[in-house]
Amino acid sequence: MKKIVVISGGLGSPSSTRVLGDDIVARLREDLAAKGEELEVTVAELRELAHPIMDAMLTGFPTGDLARITDAVAAADGLVVVSPTFSASISGLVKSFFDILEMDTLKGKHILMAATGGTERHSLMLEFAMRPLFSYLGALPVRTAIFAATSDFGGPGVGSLDRRVRAGAQELADALAGSQRAVEADDFVEFATLLRN
């Protein structure tokens, strides 16, 4: 049994951010089932935890439902993190959630990064805002990050989005199952990091 937590930063109900997260989980479940693995999913809708997140930033510790989510993150094998794009970056709510986690909570955890936004021009925020954050926190982001613009939902971009979801979910499934493909990808990331330092 593999455990993941989906962190959804959408502010609406329903939100395209949650829809994207659900699509990723559905594909991930299929990919893991093909490997003989079951999937346990915990979904965290951060809009419902906004006040507790701010309280935790002020007091230094989470309580109630937020504490249960942070415990689930600590116990998870991996995460799917989906943020709306605000000011060409991740949302403040999503960043604040990760700010309240204990140091090393994400260390060694595989993460699939995803984001939604009005236009694909903001898709690089995944690489310059999200990937450095998770790398700093010791997580292992998979290679494919998924950006979904408004036109990807119900428009001509649906096929392309579906391909990106399939690729990202497959990489996360490989990483969670410990397959050789995932090890090779992690080795490449480690080597690239060494080259930059």
SS3 182: helix
Report CA-CA distances (Å) from 148 to 43, 66, 76, 144.
Answer: 19, 27, 25, 13
The fold of 2-196 is Rossmann fold (3.40.50)
Where is average pLDDT lowest: 107-116, 121-130, 167-176, 179-188? 179-188
DSSP annotation of 196: H
For 17-44, the pLDDT digits (tens) are 999 999 999 999 999 999 999 999 999 9
pLDDT in tens, 51-97: 999 999 999 999 999 999 999 999 999 999 999 999 889 999 999 99
Q: How many CA atoms lie within 13 A of 38 on its CB side?
A: 2
Domain boundaries, the chain: 2-196
